[in-house]
Amino acid sequence: MDSLMHFHTDEGFFKRYEKLVIDIVIPYQEKALRDEIEGAEKSHAITNFEMAAQMLESGHCGGEFYGMVFQDSDVAKWLEAVSYSLRIKPDEALSRRADDIISLIGRAQHKDGYLNTYFTVKEPDKRWTNLEEAHELYCAGHMIEAAVAYAACTGKTELLDIMCKMADHMYQHFTCDDTPGFPGHPEVELALIRLYDYTGDSKYLELSKHFIDARGTDFFVQEAERYPWKVWGRNGNNREYAQTTAPVREQTDAVGHAVRAVYLYCGMADVAKATGDASLHNACKTLWNSIVQRRMYLTGAIGSAYEGEAFTKDYHLPSDTAYAETCASIGLIFFAKRMLSLEKRNEYADIMERALYNTVLAGMQLDGKRFFYVNPLEALPGISGEAVTHRHALPQRPTWFACACCPPNVARLLTSIGAYAWSVEENMVYSHLFISGKFAMNDVLGGTISLQTTYPKGNQIHYQFAPVSTAMNLTLAVRLPAWSDSTSITRNGNPAEYEVANGYAYLQGSFTDQDDIVVTLDMSAKRVYSSMKVSANSGKVAFMRGPLVYCAEGNDNADNVIDLVIDQHSPVTEHPEIEHDGMPTLSVGGWHMHDNGKLYSFDSPTSMPCDITLIPYYTWGNRGLHSMRVWMPQT
Amino acid sequence: MDSLMHFHTDEGFFKRYEKLVIDIVIPYQEKALRDEIEGAEKSHAITNFEMAAQMLESGHCGGEFYGMVFQDSDVAKWLEAVSYSLRIKPDEALSRRADDIISLIGRAQHKDGYLNTYFTVKEPDKRWTNLEEAHELYCAGHMIEAAVAYAACTGKTELLDIMCKMADHMYQHFTCDDTPGFPGHPEVELALIRLYDYTGDSKYLELSKHFIDARGTDFFVQEAERYPWKVWGRNGNNREYAQTTAPVREQTDAVGHAVRAVYLYCGMADVAKATGDASLHNACKTLWNSIVQRRMYLTGAIGSAYEGEAFTKDYHLPSDTAYAETCASIGLIFFAKRMLSLEKRNEYADIMERALYNTVLAGMQLDGKRFFYVNPLEALPGISGEAVTHRHALPQRPTWFACACCPPNVARLLTSIGAYAWSVEENMVYSHLFISGKFAMNDVLGGTISLQTTYPKGNQIHYQFAPVSTAMNLTLAVRLPAWSDSTSITRNGNPAEYEVANGYAYLQGSFTDQDDIVVTLDMSAKRVYSSMKVSANSGKVAFMRGPLVYCAEGNDNADNVIDLVIDQHSPVTEHPEIEHDGMPTLSVGGWHMHDNGKLYSFDSPTSMPCDITLIPYYTWGNRGLHSMRVWMPQT
């Protein structure tokens, strides 16, 4: 059962984001795809499809392919977000325009099912000869995801038919014809499982498993020797970059391009789930632990280096030069959701929430109009975005990028949040994320569960029930976040009966419309410490309140946060009356340190006591160019 | 007067280094240049000269040029070090081999004076057409320095004649023929001034000034358009890299490749001195301040980024990813010496000393057999030298490199230390660095001053006098290091009479062989703090004793220094009985912090009190692979 289709948000924290995406982000992206935004770098993505269609219809086209080799995927991600958007808020005109684009995509498809405008327009003879760089399987994957989403959300199957034909073509090429290979950028693996789940056609599971199992050879070296053409400069020798160091079941460290890594792990978890493959599940657990125990930022961000947009080494987590790509945290959320489907442990949902409420939300300006790709934990005006080592780590969100991967990824995630918030297994209804809305049961369980909360501002979550008949017989399993020191659950004012396993409270019962389950979390603001092995954080402390990481920003702190030192004895105070995007501001005692103006001095700096103001990390950079810091020295 | 020629070290701290260079480094380098070291990457530098000679003599040669475009400069730097070495310790066999190489160089010189094996062997038609990348002027500069040194130290002028002919050729090409251009890698500017100083021929001053004045246009862009051949990938557009953003007198920030920058500033200071050009002197002061007030590490290292081996932005001084090249600090010492010749201020000599005793000495293994190019202030085994951001920052000194710039630069500096320790202007004798040895006066002043000290271990410096007749009438000007809180000077046990100006004590008098001037410095170990603007150091402290920066290394600290926190109330204790290269070990109270094993935790770490052992930074990395840290959190 796809929980996405059963959930509708109510007014609350996420509703605002959903609206932003539907009203601002998706329309803006459509204009970008159509090259209708003045001053923005050309996308050409729709035009590429038009030219591919012309090419197939007339044998020539009046222009050249333009954009990244994976430009098609921008259209795919937009169509996926549009699917979710149309489910939430029907829009005739948008629906018609999406249908037109889908027709155009159909016209750009070869008779044998092949679909990719780069190859159709620019390199017609080079299909499937540069899997390392050319992103054909990646683009196919995103379009498959869009196809499944569009069919599920609108009931229209034109795009699904197109992509089944493409998937059949890939199945023929890679399994029947026994052509060796696997994608340089994983994505098709998880997409094929979505297609398998939706259509039930086991070919797609088989093909996904094929790509997973094929990985880990020096195929890219052989491919580069056999077909020595390049998109950028491939040679197959950077085996960490695309996670081909070893067969996937033998991989132990999360390495290489962080988005590729987590997309791959998603496919692995999917196949493990679909086939019951324990060795694959174990590999997923090992790689999950590699990430969350040694290679993840406090904000749920991943990727410590700009070069390769990649994981680096254990405990190397620099704050100011982090890559910490928005898309990588989205991929980590995808991975967490799949680990959760394999095994219910609050750890998976806790990380999903951490990445969502911190890195993913930070990726978008509060007005939905600008985006961070890179989400550093420290911003230094004059250095961030300017020093050669910090060119990627901008201190303010820029407008649309030439490589438009993150904004459409944010859009599709935020419009499909129900898929992450809830899941159902037989008569177990799992509530993973606390997002106000109504979750409709399947026909067996019947009725609807309503979740109401002001979370992550408030600490109470209400569950109410609207059974089809008199009562809903089920087990409501509520995540107990590990950050909550004490979580109480009441049923109609009295302590509820429940069992706890792996961080979930299981409330078994018959629930009527008179029932009110209230979960009360301990969301008091707290200090967080990092492992002593993280050199960037030694002697430092950070702050969290519930799932939200906080930071100090120059605006609130005499325009300088780099000179702040936290007083270890000072309590952290909440100021609900001073809101940032509705969340309470925090304050803690400390000092601004003053030096004597010299670069190095034997004079110890003087200290000026002050109240240090902290705001939710995800709201940083919304008030102009200022310094920002998550980890601060404490004395 | 060239103070180098008048100084001989006595037994003491530097004598050991001089011996190491003469007995270990120079012979090893000769073998490397001759490709006689098994397992080491081929140099081919001597062979390149042989092939160039064959080419000129027979019109063809039996091989190909091999190595960097600047491979000739390895031979030049070695010959310069050999010159100084022969002055210190005559060696018939070495002298004969050097003469043979010089003859070979002469045979590789074109009739018109041109000398460069890369162009003679590999690109005979491309002379002077890629000044941006091809290092012709750079190689000429180093060979001119070698020629002057060889002539001064051995009295033999064959190489000097060769290089005068080459300099005359350059003068003809760039000034008489009015060919536009200036070097991509500065060096020839300062070398031409050395040639001018030695020969008195004003053409060489004129040519040096010509290159300085020509700099700061978009010449490299025009050159790349006109002659579009490349060594690496030039296009003239990275104007910061080679300091061509503006005419030199208008440059205000030290930018680009750090070695190129300081070599350029040396040439500027030389020309300012030789011509009395106040605007050029002012530009030097501005650029000096840019470095030492905002862009220099505590160790006197410069260059914050691997990319471009370059300066970055003000106050960006990361410890673990520093480039901090040994050669750049050598260049900073060259620059400081020249600033000192323009104006006597202890600041210049203090920085010279800081760079020398910390970065330059750290560049060489204590046994003289291995070298650091990059001198980070923090080493993290598992990350340093391994993470993609840290590949350059090795945690242990490797053996000989393919690009052999630093070891020969260390060799020529350490064998010519007298040139930096002393200077004379009329009857003023300046003692800048406290290095045991005898400084012979010129004929006018007569006699010899002997400096005896165990510095930088001991804090007393004795000056004694050996007049030619009964007394030496002069002013002894002794640097008062800014790091010494109280410096006393006695003459025969009584307070000496002296005046202080700009950090120098001027002792005017008639000195006999009965006189004993004793300078006593305050060398107590102290905490050092950095500007609050240096984000990498916030909340942290470092330690110095006299000119030496100290660090904590794993060996002495339970194999982990990243978990150490300094107790701000603990005094720093000296342990003269526990020596590192003869220097006292320091200790200070603090704690090893222990976490609960999690990457992030709400549990504050526990602390285990400990004595933290500190060793001189320049001795780090001599005892295997361990963590190392200069800046440590303090609470």
8 Å CB contact of B595 and A529: yes
DSSP code at position A328:
H
Contacts of A597 in chain B (CB under 8 A): 531
C-beta separation of B129 from B123 below 8 A: no
Quick one: A619 and A596 in the same domain? yes
Secondary structure (DSSP) of B49-116: HHHHHHHHHHS--SS---S-TTTHHHHHHHHHHHHHHHHHS--HHHHHHHHHHHHHHHHTS-TTS---
* Chain A from 475 to 504: CB within 8 A of any B CB: 483, 485
Among candidates B173, B174, B212, B176, which has minimal Cα distance to B191?
B212
With a cut of 90, say whether residue A251 has pLDDT above it.
yes
- Least confident range from A405-419, B96-110, B330-344: namely A405-419
Q: Are A442 and A429 a contacting pair, CB within 8 Å? A: no
- Does A508 have pLDDT greater than 50? yes
Q: Confidence class of residue A204 from pLDDT cuts 50, 70 and 90? A: very high
What does the pLDDT look like over A44-74, one tens digit per residue?
999 999 999 999 999 988 889 999 999 999 9
How far does the CA of residue B194 sit from the closest CA of chain A (Å)?
Answer: 33
Q: What residues 563-602 of chain A have any CB closer than 8 A to a CB of chain B?
A: 563, 565, 568, 593-595, 597-602
Residue A609 has pLDDT above 70, yes or no: yes
Interface of B with A in 358-387 (CB under 8 A): 378, 380, 382-383, 386-387
Q: Mean pLDDT throughout B422-444?
A: 94
Is the pLDDT confidence value at B1 over 50?
no
Instruction: Report if residue A617 sits inside a domain.
Output: yes
The Cα of A611 is separated from the nearest Cα of chain B by a number of Å equal to 17
Mean pLDDT of A70-82: 96
The answer on B629 and B543 residing in a single domain is: yes
Q: B503 and B600 share a domain?
A: no
Q: Are A558 and A625 part of one and the same domain?
A: yes
The CA distance from A448 to A19, in Å, is: 23
| Residues A385 and A50 sit within 8 Å (Cβ to Cβ) | no
Q: How many domains does chain B have?
A: 2
A599/B312 touch (CB, cutoff 8 Å), yes or no: no
pLDDT band, residue B400 (cuts 50/70/90): low
Catalytic positions of B, written as ranges: 309, 405
Q: How far apart are CA B536 and CA B553, in angstroms?
A: 19
Q: Name the residue facing B529 among A308, A314, A601 (closest C-beta).
A: A601
Based on the domain organization, do B552 and B496 belong to the same domain? no
Q: Which positions in chain A touch B257 (Cβ < 8 Å)?
A: none
CB distance from A296 to chain B under 8 Å?
Answer: yes
Q: Does B539 touch chain A (CB under 8 A)?
A: yes
**Is A309 tagged catalytic?**
yes
Whether residues B529 and A600 touch (CB distance < 8 A) is answered with yes
The reply to whether B499 and B448 lie within a common domain is: yes
The pLDDT of residue A109 is above 90: yes
Chain B residues touching A602 at Cβ < 8 A? 483, 485, 526-529
The catalytic residue among A139, A164, A327, A405 is A405
Assess whether B448 and B538 both reside in one domain: no
> Is B380 close to A534, i.e. CB distance below 8 A?
no
CB contact under 8 A, B305 and A533: no
Last residue of a domain, one of B485, B520, B555: B520
Find which of B380, B600, B617 to mutate to test the A interface (most A CBs within 10 Å of its CB): B600
Looking at chain A, which residue has its C-alpha nearest residue B323? Answer: A389
**Which residues of A, range 429-468, sit inside 8 Å of B by Cβ?**
none
Give the residue-averaged pLDDT of A301-317: 97
Interface of A with B in 88-117 (CB under 8 A): none
Both B489 and B530 in one domain: the answer is: no
Over chain B, what is the mean pLDDT? 95
Q: Of A50, A133, A136, A309, which residue is the catalytic one?
A: A309
Contact B304 A389 (CB under 8 A): yes
Are both A437 and A514 inside the same structural domain? yes
A578 and A496 fall within a common domain: no
**Residues spanned by the domain of B598:** 525-633
Report chain B's terminal Cα–Cα distance, integer Å: 52
Confidence of residue B620 (pLDDT cuts 50, 70, 90): very high
Q: Which of B316, B483, B539 sits opposite A387 (nearest CB)?
A: B316
Which residue in this structure is represented by tokens 């030069």? A321
Q: Which of B461, B491, B520 is the last residue of a domain?
A: B520
| pLDDT band of A1, cuts 50, 70, 90 | very low
Average pLDDT (B286-293) is 98
- Asked if A274 and A326 touch (Cβ cutoff 8 Å), the reply is no
Asked whether residue B514 falls in the same domain as residue B532, the answer is no
What pLDDT, on the 0 to 100 scale, is given for residue A161?
98
Q: Does B615 fall in a domain?
A: yes
Asked whether this complex has an ipTM greater than 0.90, the answer is yes
| Cα-based distances in Å from B556 to B168, B578, B585 | 57, 11, 10
B128 occurs within a structural domain: no
Q: How far apart are CA B36 and CA B29, in angstroms?
A: 10
Fill in the DSSP letter of residue A622. S
Q: What is the H or E stretch that residue A204 is in? A: helix A202-214
Residue A139 domain-assigned (yes or no): no
Identity of the residue in A312, A526, A632 whose CB atom sits nearest the CB atom of B389: A312
- Characterize the bridge pairing of strands A428-431 and A472-479: parallel
Q: What is the pLDDT of residue B462?
A: 98
Contact B483 A380 (CB under 8 A): no
How does residue B415 score in pLDDT terms, banded at 50, 70 and 90? Answer: very high
Least confident of A384-398, A539-553, B403-417, B473-487: B403-417
B388 close contact with A: CB closer than 8 A: yes
Q: Identify whether the C-beta of residue B113 lies closer than 8 Å to the C-beta of residue B169.
A: yes
In a domain, B627, yes or no: yes
Express each pLDDT in B529-580 by its tens digit.
999 999 999 999 999 999 999 999 999 999 999 999 999 999 999 999 999 9
**Interchain CB distance below 8 Å, B532 and A633:** no
- What's the CA gap between B587 and B577, in Å, rounded? 12
| Count of residues making up chain A | 635
Q: Which residues of B touch A386 (CB under 8 A)?
A: 313
Q: What is the pLDDT of residue B4?
A: 84
Contact assignment for B387 to A304 by CB distance below 8 Å:
yes
| Residue B583 resides in a domain | yes
The pLDDT, as a whole number, for residue A244 is 95
Cβ(B54)–Cβ(B60) below 8 Å:
yes
Which residue in B321, B560, B605 is closest to A529 by CB distance?
B605
Tokens for A384? 């961030």
User: Does some domain include residue A154?
Assistant: no
Could you report the per-residue pLDDT of A15-54, keeping only the tens digit for each? 999 999 999 999 999 999 999 988 778 899 999 999 999 9
So what's the pLDDT on residue A400?
59
Q: In this model, does residue B436 exceed pLDDT 60?
A: yes
Residue finishing a domain among A520, A544, A561 = A520
Residue-averaged pLDDT of chain A? 95
Contact list, B310 vs chain A (CB under 8 Å):
388
Helix (H) or strand (E) holding B204: helix B202-214
Q: How confident is the model at residue B401 (pLDDT cuts 50, 70, 90)?
A: low
pTM score of the predicted model: 0.96
Contacts of A601 in chain B (CB under 8 A): 528-530
Q: Does B6 fall in a domain?
A: no
Query: Does residue A584 share a domain with residue A493?
Result: no
A544 pLDDT exceeds 60?
Answer: yes
The CATH number given to whatever domain includes residue B493 is 2.60.40
